[in-house]
Amino acid sequence: MMTLADDSRTLTLVSGTIVSGDDARLTATVSIADSAVPISQTATIHAAIKDIIDPVLCSNSATGADWANGVVVIEFAESDTSDIEQSGLAVLELQVNDNGKTTFFCDVYLVIGSID
């Protein structure tokens, strides 16, 4: 589990590893002051790997998502991760727009895969 706090905002990942050329599915919980943030089903949520993977839209119908309890599933396709050029830490940015924007950040590990 990885957590990076920004003020009282926290984004916690169950697993934070993305392998180049693979589909990546991350489950994250957003919280403020140690309490999960309920997210409206009508909100829009985008996730990106800062300066590496462009924003993708997160779906409230993704398997495992529970927006009412602050749980968001982030899915990056193989085409998104294929541009990863080096292993190491990167920053996951998650922006929730639910009658105003709130952005959360967390470290993720990027790994260059060696199996085609």
5 band by pLDDT with thresholds 50, 70 and 90:
very low
pTM listed for this prediction: 0.88
| Phi, psi torsion values for 50, nearest 5 degrees | -50, 125
Q: Are 106 and 93 in contact (CB under 8 A)?
A: no
For residue 81, give both structure tokens.
Answer: 């991760």
If you average pLDDT over residues 24-53, what whole number do you get?
Answer: 93
pLDDT at residue 4, as a whole number = 45
| Number of domains into which the chain is organized | 1
Q: Which residue has the higher pLDDT, 6 or 13?
A: 13
Q: Which domain holds residue 83?
A: 2-111
Answer yes or no: is 116 within a domain: no
Q: What CATH number does residue 68 fall under? A: 2.60.40.1930
9 band by pLDDT with thresholds 50, 70 and 90:
confident
If you average pLDDT over residues 37-47, what whole number do you get?
Answer: 95
If you average pLDDT over residues 51-58, what whole number do you get?
Answer: 96
Answer yes or no: is 87 within a domain: yes
Select from 92, 104, 103, 96 the least CA-distant residue to 44. 96
pLDDT at residue 7, as a whole number = 62
pLDDT tens across 58-93, in order? 999 999 999 999 999 999 999 999 989 999 999 999
